[in-house]
Chains A and B, each alone.
Chain A
């Protein structure tokens, strides 16, 4: 009996010594898409300490570790990173856009939309607006109202568009976006009409925008006195 007890004790001791020391680990990855608007510049992308691509031009996509990562971007051939930040890269995928507004300046860096953005309902279009206007709306949060070409009735409106920042998502039937007159007012004071219907600025998305999600860039291409506001898609993600 003594021997049996001894053996049992040894067994228990050894069994208790064989606890696991972790597991066969794998990194959670996500898909990062980068789009750039510059027609001339190439960029280098670092995530963590790993060089992902040394010459991104217009578009790039690849797998990177998910969640909080150090992300650095510089122009190919340059020494300084114009973006060096800790950023949360969500899974399963995300698209970032490098938007260039001034060829002499580094590109603006904005989040695009991740895969968590839902697709618009069939027949609709979904978008958010990035206002980079440096004239009348600079520094202001504005509302944009669109009026029918035919009836002059307001057919839709977009509220609280920040300056140099992304607005919320708006979703409308695509048919409404065939065109309309554009009015811009100050969000905090709608009586303050910044761009009136009289200036004959218009807004339109072609059929290409149907059933899609976009980032629209808003800028004034014609100076303060006679503004010509232009809103056009810079990033489109077919959902």
Chain B
């Protein structure tokens, strides 16, 4: 750091400290104690007396009006100035509005009311209908009580049980009356309201609306006024769904489709081109071979809102193209509550049926391992490999004793036990507490603990017919436990708020598979068992602050956070027994190192990510309009540490045991392992298997700075844009081992570095042609960076797919994006939008299957690769429409909505087309086989279309939601050979939810959910492979040009049994669940 830059940093630090000192002194002034005793006087004199005590404030009031209010005996003793004002408001109806040091008073007669033991609360936010900004200082009158909104437009008022109508007004805005505010004892009613700015003279027109519609309308208003194109879902909307986790919630957001019930596709783009933020901090991925984040890890109970950004603004991370999914957990609650939820459910393929897996650990139901799956803590992969190298390969008996002894201590979980599939268990406890201090400060605490256990059986067919690999059928059993906890605290004082958010999430998944089928290469029958436990842990801590400073709307935001991710895969193993077709017994022990038949894998990935940011924003007036400028800095430091070892099991030297006829659990029983018996033969650290790596370490430093202008130059035109600079340095160090002649392992690492600075411009234009219609146009540049895993040369073996997956020297992907969106708001809670988008990817990254392997071990190989270029052109239709127009008088239709979205995309990646062979022999004559010189298809993970539709009824007691979704056929693994592109079929999914509220004040609610009612299979296939096979086998006659042409697929890339070769087919079963919740 240069002296100049050091001085600059010190100056900035000094400025921040000064700022904090000013904040503290203001707070102290307000906290000054008030002691005032007066008799036989009136309110005007009381206010005058207060003015004397607090000369720093300027009071504004109508003298005559306050003189009329008699005060017989005043004994005012309050902890602070604002507490004194609150007391006067409560006892004498002296309402006040504070704007900085200006306090305006107004008298509203106090209505005598019967005091209630347990009042309820109305809370919410008032926002400007035109720009979505919070309206500070607006007055809300309910039941004769008035209150004004704070700097963020928030308000909160206690009221006795009852139904109310609120009147909302503010200078410069129209008045609005909101009815159907249903306050219940000790419950909080959320009311978000939009206010419309009046042009010219004050209008006498009062807009009337219902509370429920107003709240949804407020969400749409925020969406309408967001600088970027967004879609989202609010806390209230989440509560009206039966969703258990964020994955399920996300499936309701426009333009999002969930894969495998946990991975998000935004606008048809897979995880690679999306980004995930939790409370504003980028979250690390949860999967080892993909950039995916498993959204089912986070329970919906912890969520305040989810926003999906589909276009960029400079303050957003540049690492996305499809969308940024921002998940925000709750901090200061609106009021005190304790809520419990208990749920259960069944799966038609699982519940009450046989469920196989190895012996369950004692703590599986809590999501923790009881160490029955772990190697001993002092197990050293390299040391073990050395002993095998010296003992097994070198014949050293002492070394043989070492690895034999260690082999006998490996976890032994080969035996598949039979359990009964149990119903889903789902529990949640949420509690919140708000403490409002007399000085108006507020402290909020929210805590939540959720627990879920579910078991799923999946019937499957898995085959690799091309090149004659295998065909298996059987069942896959998944035992899943999720345990999550959240503890958030927030403290707001004046225009400041500081929050501390903590999230813990632990998910344990154990997948067990039974394989029955054949080894096509060796022409043998196969029976086997796989077991893949996985523990995923996320721990995130975040401190953030927001400060309004001065009178000119200056705001400062900052945060510091730490996210820890741990992904532990202990004892992932697969055992395949084989036999000749005429044989009756399977052999499970082989004296070779073929991984197809026996693999045992251990790995652990630990990631730490520190992030921090500082942002300042300043509104200013230009052209008589309010403009906003933002600038900020965001930084992150991330480290990853991954270690793994892969073993096969084979007989030790001089092993006299004959394993013929032994059941798998006896052949591989614990007593069979040891010196001279069976031993674990290492694969990754083994000098006798060249080129393997056994881990990697990653380090990333990312610094971003941005400046952004949100300009409103006319009533109908808004421009938001700016520049973002990102400096990124990533290092991935793949750990390899080399052995000296005496067997001593020495590191042999490979370093892969990306060091790049990008300037990324973005601009969003909004043309408001009327209050109901606006057009958005955006252009922005974004990035997609490779993950550590993709840069590492570590070879990850997936036994399920018989596949090695390897990283590569990759370049980051640059993406140019353009969006055009037409938005129409027929009414406040309705929206119809049509978007068009264009994306050009330079150096896109794709996971590609290498040429189908013909090697003796019959394993496939996949590698991450940079392709030259890809382009997407798409359209998106989104709507939410009330059906009240069908029968305006019907209360049913008043609560009935239809919503949906449709995305279509013409995506193509250009890459060289390679033929598997050049010529075909037909009746002894050789013909040239025609092949395209270029492949033209979507990038892997991209779906050509998405359809989501829902019919929603949300009455006071009863609710129903029918949802339909369909994702078009998409490439899940690409290939350099067109006919080896692996597609996933399009399938129709229908979900149904019913809810009913009951007991006193609707405190109890029952929800019934039926998901995937059609239970259509998921099919993965090689498109048009059978036609390709016919052509290369000489079954297709040559064309007029004398060349053999592969017949075109009749259904294009859609699945067609006659032309496509199935890779995998599976059924998930239908799920039915019921939950009960009660709010205290």
Contact = CB atoms under 8 A, between A and B. Distances in A.
A21 B342 CA distance: 28
Contacts of B583: 63
Interface stretch (B421-429, B865-873, B1004-1012): B421-429
Interface stretch (A8-16, A165-173, A177-185, A196-204): A8-16
Q: For B514, B584, B658, B659, which residue has the most chain A Cβ atoms within 10 angstroms? A: B584
Interface stretch (B186-194, B662-670, B833-841, B986-994): B662-670
A17 to B, nearest CB: 7
A22 B359 CA distance: 10
A115 B338 CA distance: 71
Contacts of B585: 29, 63
Interface in A94-116: 115
A7 B342 contact: yes
A24 B356 CA distance: 8
B661 interface: yes
Nearest to B529: A24
A20 B359 contact: yes
B521 interface: no
Interface string A53-64: 000000000111
Contacts of A206: none
Interface in A1-49: 3-4, 7, 10-11, 14-15, 17-31
A18 B477 CA distance: 15
Nearest to B427: A7
Nearest to B363: A15
Contacts of A24: 356, 415-418, 514, 529
Contact of A30 (B365, B415, B427, B661): B661
Interface residues on chain A, size class: 20 to 34
Given A10-B425, A18-B422, A91 B660 contact: yes
B660 A93 contact: yes
A10 B659 CA distance: 45
A3 B340 contact: yes
B418 A22 contact: yes
Contacts of B419: 18-21
B479 to A, nearest CB: 10
B429 A30 contact: no
A200 B523 CA distance: 58
A19 B362 CA distance: 11
A24 B529 CA distance: 10
Interface residues of B, number: 34
A92 B418 CA distance: 27
B663 A11 contact: no
Nearest to A22: B418
A26 B663 contact: yes
B360 interface: yes
Contacts of A66: 661
B33 interface: no
Interface in B813-841: none
B655 interface: no
B451 interface: yes
B420 interface: yes
A189 to B, nearest CB: 43
A62 B585 CA distance: 10
Interface in B625-674: 658-666
Contacts of B529: 24
A64 B660 CA distance: 11
Contact of B660 (A17, A20, A30): A30
Nearest to B425: A14
A15 B453 CA distance: 10
Contacts of A22: 417-418
B718 to A, nearest CB: 49
B584 A63 contact: yes
Nearest to A19: B419
B528 to A, nearest CB: 11
Nearest to A21: B418
Given A20-B417, A63-B583, A63-B584, A29 B425 contact: no
Given A3-B340, A63-B585, A28 B661 contact: yes
A105 B534 CA distance: 67
B577 to A, nearest CB: 9
Given A20-B359, A29-B584, A92 B660 contact: yes
Given A26-B665, A92-B661, A93-B660, 16 more contacts: A3-B338, A3-B340, A3-B429, A11-B451, A17-B422, A18-B419, A18-B422, A23-B415, A23-B417, A24-B356, A24-B416, A24-B514, A25-B663, A28-B663, A28-B666, A64-B584
Interface of A: 3-4, 7, 10-11, 14-15, 17-31, 62-64, 66, 91-93, 115
9 contacts: A3-B340, A11-B427, A15-B365, A21-B420, A23-B416, A25-B663, A31-B660, A63-B584, A91-B662
Interface of B: 338, 340, 342, 356, 359-360, 365, 415-420, 422, 425, 427, 429, 451, 453, 514, 529, 583-586, 658-666
